[in-house]
């Protein structure tokens, strides 16, 4: 069956528009390949964890089909809008002409209801990427999918088979209602808050009065150390290629094979901690780029990140366990030698607690939280604390400013500091082939402060929210520039550049 290219099916499922019928669950991602493809965005009744829901889908599924392209192709992607509102698709991580980037109000006007927009661009890279809507809450309601680009020549790592794994979060609530609940009370979905009953447990670690003082410090900031994720498993079902944990996605292997797993975090609000008990994970790619292989036991996958790993399973079954960072739930699948073989599901770990260093409030804390990694003197020097606050500190758009900002790329992150195994950090990631441009000193340095008001969900750079009349940052073609991003807030923030890559300077140590 062909739809503007090749349609490869695991097991085909029927799809229908918003009617009384429901799209069945499919065990594998659909895959579209070819330089010319047709995608339709529409409202569709689907099953999520056995429950009927109305989703915004790409070609009838959540996630949308896996798009397989080849480096060097000229692609034509025809996107038809079957909704009653504008839509869009952004090709996350791809080098595309600005007008093909898919961001309404910035690179184009969006795709009006009932119309088709044709994306045309050359493929100038390879690797693991994804696509998603950039309109309203459509990504949260299902408009996302994987995108894999094969290189023109064989890559540096051989493998016998591969699987793409899309991790995501789903709520049966209206996403507008979720945001309204959070604006009303930031801890609306946090059912793991500390109570008086927890005081005894905390006293075991810091003494009774230490625990009391710690609670007063948090109360003075009007913050909560259990506030790991804004939206939690209270409302979210965590999905593994669109399947809930009980539905158990399966990937088949033969013992001794080398298997490539392409992980994509397509969540709206969830960081996942991923491990496969019994297997070491050889990380070979990050955000589409080849990296020097590094073996770990677990990695944290932030929102919108992709990571490629190689595993060599020899037993009958392994659980691929993706635990939400706040431990409120998990997504899972199974690598197995047959469809009926299962593996044990790990127990969820206790929910972690933030500390003052996590909030940028501990002037004395300078690392030491990840004993499994040795830093060079150069890396240590790069991790010195900085406190750079300018005129952007004040106003409703920038409340609760962190006192101290420092590089934390060598730290595994909250909830992973005390693991007994090796956890990936950003400092572990090095480009597979050092580039010649690394010897070129940047011509200048531009400092940007990530600012915002956490209670009002207002985000900005240097205290200014985006406006259409804002002057852009002017760069010269071919110029090498160092950007220093300083997070002045008390929240972790993903940063994504459209149409270009950046080199994480400290991570190259």
Judgement on whether residues 334 and 411 belong to the same structural domain of the protein: no
The answer to whether position 195 is within a domain reads no
Between strands 444-453 and 458-461, the pairing is antiparallel
> Is residue 359 assigned to a domain?
no
Domain match, 147 and 174 both:
no
Question: How many angstroms separate the Cα of 150 from the Cα of each of 33, 64, 123, 125, 129?
Answer: 11, 19, 10, 9, 11
The verdict on residue 203 lying in a domain is: no
Name the stretches of the chain with pLDDT < 70: 1-21, 23-27, 194-205, 209-211, 215-216, 218-219, 221-223, 356, 358-405, 435-439, 506-509
Model pLDDT, residue 42: 98
Element (H, E) at 377: helix 377-382
The alpha carbon of 249 is separated from its chain's Cα centroid by a whole number of angstroms, namely 20
Q: Identify whether the C-beta of residue 407 lies closer than 8 Å to the C-beta of residue 390.
A: no
d(CA 280, CA 26): 29
Residue 19 located in a structural domain: yes
Task: Tell me: do 331 and 479 sit in the same domain.
Answer: no
CB 127: neighbour CB atoms within 10 A? 22
**Is 45:14 a contact under the CB 8 Å cutoff?**
no
30, 165, 361 from 283: Cα distances, Å: 25, 15, 33
In this structure, are 104 and 75 located in the same domain?
Answer: yes
Tokens 């003494």, located at residue? 207
Q: Is residue 202 part of a domain?
A: no
Q: Read off the CATH number of the domain in which 305 is found.
A: 2.60.40.420
Rounded Cα gap, residues 451 and 464, in angstroms: 8
- Residue 211 covered by a domain: no
Question: Quick check: is 440 in a domain?
Answer: yes
Instruction: Mention every residue, 6+ apart, whose C-beta is less than 8 A from residue 462.
Output: 390, 392, 448, 449, 451
| Domain's final residue, options 120, 151, 182 | 151
pLDDT score recorded for residue 506:
59
The Cα 376–Cα 408 span in angstroms is: 14
Same domain assignment for residues 81 and 185? no
Q: What confidence score (pLDDT) does residue 208 get? A: 73
The reply to whether 483 and 382 lie within a common domain is: yes
Question: Distance between CA 113 and CA 115 in Å, rounded?
Answer: 6
| pLDDT number for residue 12 | 30
Pairing of strands 31-33, 66-70: parallel
> Where do the DSSP E strands lie in 205-345?
236-240, 249-252, 259-265, 272-275, 281-286, 289-296, 298-301, 306-311, 317-324, 330-336
pLDDT in tens, 353-379: 877 676 666 644 444 333 334 333 334
Could you give the CA distance from residue 244 to residue 236 in angstroms, rounded to a whole number?
Answer: 10
Q: Within this chain, do residues 146 and 158 fall inside the same structural domain, yes or no?
A: no
Count of other CB atoms within 10 angstroms of residue 118: 10
Q: Pairing state of beta strands 51-58 and 298-301?
A: unpaired
* pLDDT score for 273: 98
Instruction: From 287, 319, 352, give the residue that closes a domain.
Output: 352
Task: Report the pLDDT value the prediction gives residue 195, as an integer from 0 to 100.
Answer: 66
Q: Does residue 186 form part of some domain? A: yes
Final residue of a domain: which of 304, 322, 352? 352
| Amino acid 371: pLDDT | 38
468 with 416, same domain?
yes
Q: 471 lies in which domain range?
A: 374-509
CA dist 423 and 426 (Å) reads: 10
Q: Is residue 92 located within the same domain as residue 168?
A: no
Helix (H) or strand (E) holding 200: helix 199-206
This prediction's pTM: 0.85
- Both 245 and 334 in one domain: the answer is yes
Contact 4, 37 (CB under 8 A): yes
Q: What is the pLDDT of residue 11?
A: 30
Chain length of the chain: 509
Number of domains observed in the structure of the chain: 3
Domain identity same for 115 and 158: no
Q: Are residues 297 and 168 in the same domain?
A: yes
Residue 403: predicted pLDDT: 57
pLDDT at residue 410, as a whole number: 86
| pLDDT tens track for 440-496 | 889 999 999 999 887 777 889 998 888 888 888 999 998 999 999 988 887 777 788
């Amino acid at each position: 069956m062909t739809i503007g290219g090749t349609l490869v099916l695991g097991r085909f499922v029927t799809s229908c528009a918003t009617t009384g019928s429901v799209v069945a669950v499919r065990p594998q991602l659909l895959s579209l390949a070819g330089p010319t493809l047709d995608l339709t965005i529409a409202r569709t009744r689907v099953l999520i964890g056995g429950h009927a829901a109305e989703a915004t889908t790409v070609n009838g599924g959540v996630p949308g089909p896996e798009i397989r392209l080849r480096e060097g192709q000229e692609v034509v992607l025809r996107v038809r809008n079957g909704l009653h509102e504008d839509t869009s698709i952004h090709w996350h991580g791809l080098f595309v002409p600005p007008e093909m980037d898919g961001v309404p109000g910035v690179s184009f006007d969006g795709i009006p209801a009932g119309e088709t927009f044709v994306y045309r661009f050359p493929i100038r890279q390879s690797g693991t990427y994804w696509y998603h809507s950039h309109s309203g809450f459509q990504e949260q309601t299902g408009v996302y999918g994987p995108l894999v680009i094969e290189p023109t020549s064989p890559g540096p790592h051989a493998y016998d088979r591969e699987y793409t794994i899309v991790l995501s979060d789903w709520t049966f609530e209206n996403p507008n209602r979720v945001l309204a609940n959070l604006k009303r009370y930031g801890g609306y979905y946090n059912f793991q808050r500390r109570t008086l009953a927890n005081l005894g447990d905390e006293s075991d670690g810091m003494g009774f009065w230490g625990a009391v003082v710690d609670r007063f410090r948090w109360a003075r900031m009007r913050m909560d150390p259990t506030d790991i994720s804004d939206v939690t498993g209270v409302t979210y079902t965590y999905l593994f290629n669109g399947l809930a944990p009980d539905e158990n996605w399966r990937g088949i292997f033969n013992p001794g094979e080398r298997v490539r797993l392409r992980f994509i975090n397509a969540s709206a609000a969830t960081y996942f901690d991923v491990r496969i008990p019994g297997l070491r994970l050889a990380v070979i790619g990050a955000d589409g780029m080849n990296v020097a292989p590094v073996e770990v036991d677990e990695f944290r996958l932030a929102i919108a990140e992709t990571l490629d790993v190689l595993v060599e399973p020899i037993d009958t079954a392994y659980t691929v366990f993706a635990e939400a960072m706040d431990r409120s739930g998990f997504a899972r699948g199974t690598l197995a030698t047959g469809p009926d073989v299962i593996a044990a599901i790990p127990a969820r770990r206790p929910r972690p607690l933030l500390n003052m260093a996590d909030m940028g409030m501990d002037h004395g804390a300078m690392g030491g939280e990840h004993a499994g990694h040795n830093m060079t003197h150069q890396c240590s020097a790069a991790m010195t604390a900085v406190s750079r606050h300018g005129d952007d500190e004040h106003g409703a758009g920038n409340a609760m400013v962190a006192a101290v900002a420092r590089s934390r790329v060598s730290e595994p992150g909250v909830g992973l500091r005390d693991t007994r195994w090796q956890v990936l950090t950003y400092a572990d990631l090095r480009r597979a082939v050092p580039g010649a441009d690394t010897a070129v000193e940047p011509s200048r340095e531009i400092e940007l402060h990530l600012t915002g008001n956490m209670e009002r969900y207002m985000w900005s750079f240097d205290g200014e929210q985006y406006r259409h009349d804002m002057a852009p940052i002017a760069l010269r073609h071919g110029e090498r520039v160092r950007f220093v991003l300083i997070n002045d807030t008390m929240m972790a923030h993903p940063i994504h550049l459209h149409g270009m890559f950046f080199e994480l300077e400290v991570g190259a140590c």
